[in-house]
Structure 1
Amino acid sequence: MPVGTITVEMTKQGLKNGFVHGWAVGLGGLTIDLMLILALYFGFASALALHYIQIPLWIVGAGFLTYLGYDSIKNADRDITPANEKTQKSFFITYRNGLLVTASPGNLVFWISVFGAVLSQSYSSSSTGSFVVAAIGVMTGMLIHDLGLLSIVSVSRKVMSRRMIQWVSMMAGIVLFGFSLYFLYEFIVSFIRLV
């Protein structure tokens, strides 16, 4: 699995607030991914590929990732819950962040180009049964990735100092800024192509 915005946000939340909050981000991501599988199944992938639908998504995604990056850097020293304490952060806020990060155009393009090709090939090859098997395989792979990543983060969190977690949060913010710049670039390129 390539490192993307959801992996960065899962790692950051897992280090700062523990396994459950990293998992909440992952569940938000899996929710959107499941919705995209259903959209592919019902033939909506072609609508997601339209430029006039992607262009607003690119700019909204850039704005949201800029906000997350800024928040990661600004609040790097806040909301860190030691491994032996219970976190006060809302599960649903981290779940919402997972939903919003995964609903970004980068993820949509990834789904349409990579998984969309695999799933649409399995859909057209014989019956809907092969599509369902391929979709379950994709979701299972993503679930294994999330659980594996968060297990490593959870163990690492126990041996990391507060200062180390702050640095990781700041680096995550910088990476999220990088993704937002990429989204902004894609917005500009898509807008120029449309005009």
Structure 2
Amino acid sequence: MELYLKYFLLGLAIALPVGAITVEMTKQGLKNGFMHGWAVGLGGMTIDGLLILAMYAGFATFLSLPYVQMPLWLVGAAFLAYLGYDSIRNADHDITPADEKTQKSLARTYRNGLLVAVSPGNLIFWVSVFGTVLSDSYNDSNPIAFALAAAGVLSGILLHDVGLLSIVAVSRRVLNRTAIKWVSVAAGLLLIGFAGYFVYEFITDLMAYIKA
């Protein structure tokens, strides 16, 4: 139980800083309600869970190779730039008032969560930082410790998502359509900003690789 609690708090701390997933969750939560925001979070957690399984299977070394990571920067930048552009272009669309039932598909917002999570920032974090932390809890004779640690981290992330979206759901009831539109525009600009950062990281890694 102590191991689970330790990694639960770690997962909560991981989720607190504002990142691309948080931006997309907030935007979808404001425009279409709690469930759509949570669908984004679940998309992100799906990738997190798959990465945990990949590390358990020994793929962390492969994912940490420079010639694997560098293309991921560009792929992630393309995904985030697309989502940012779409957020700005459709800022005034798909807004459902709090007292109406949304018509937008949950599968679509879940897909957005997957796209945001399949980014090099997320992959590299799990491989380099979280992979190192989890490796301390894993050994061949006691894989249950690894499972408890992974479950703790995912539970912490889940609590953060539910708490954030609860606040968003309350805020949605007092914001008008125009305010939500501009939140969507701001979210799009932030996503494009993350995309630009990924391109910068790609160039930096490429220059370092060439010099090496």
The match for 1:93 among 97, 108, 114 is 108
1-side partners of 2:118 and 2:192: how far apart?
Answer: 17
Q: Secondary structure of the residue that 1:155 maps to in structure 2?
A: helix
Q: Runs of 4+ in structure 1 displaced over 2 angstroms?
A: none
State how far apart, in whole Å, the 1-side matches of 2:171 and 2:163 are: 12
How many Å apart are 1:40 and its aligned residue?
Answer: 1.2
Q: What whole-Å deviation, never above 9, does each CA across 1:94-141 have from its counterpart, x for those lacking one?
A: 111111110110101111222112111111496212111110100100
TM-score (norm 1): 0.96
Aligned counterparts, 1:92-171, within 5 A: 92-124=107-139, 127-171=142-186
Tell me the equivalent position of 1:29: 44
Q: Which residue of 2 aligns with 1:52?
A: 67
- Match 1:8 to one of 23, 26, 29: 23
Identify the residue that residue 172 of structure 1 maps to in structure 2.
187
Report how many aligned residue pairs link the two structures: 195
State the 1:3 CA deviation: 1.1
1:71 counterpart = 2:79: no
In 1, are the aligned partners of 2:64 and 2:128 still within 8 Å (CA)?
A: no
| 1:7-28 Cα distance to aligned partner (Å, 9 max, x none) | 1100000000111111111111
Counterparts of 2:57 and 2:79, CA distance in 1: 28
Match status 1:42 vs 2:62:
no
Secondary structure of the structure 1 residue equivalent to 2:58 = coil
Please give the alpha-carbon distance, in whole angstroms, between the structure 2 residues aligned to 1:66 and 1:100.
11
- In percent, how many aligned pairs have the same letter? 67
Pairwise CA RMSD of aligned residues? Answer: 1.3
Work out whether 1:17 is the aligned partner of 2:28: no
Structure 2: runs of 5 or more not aligned: 1-15
Letter in 1 for 2:111: R
Structure 1: segments with no counterpart, 5+ residues: none
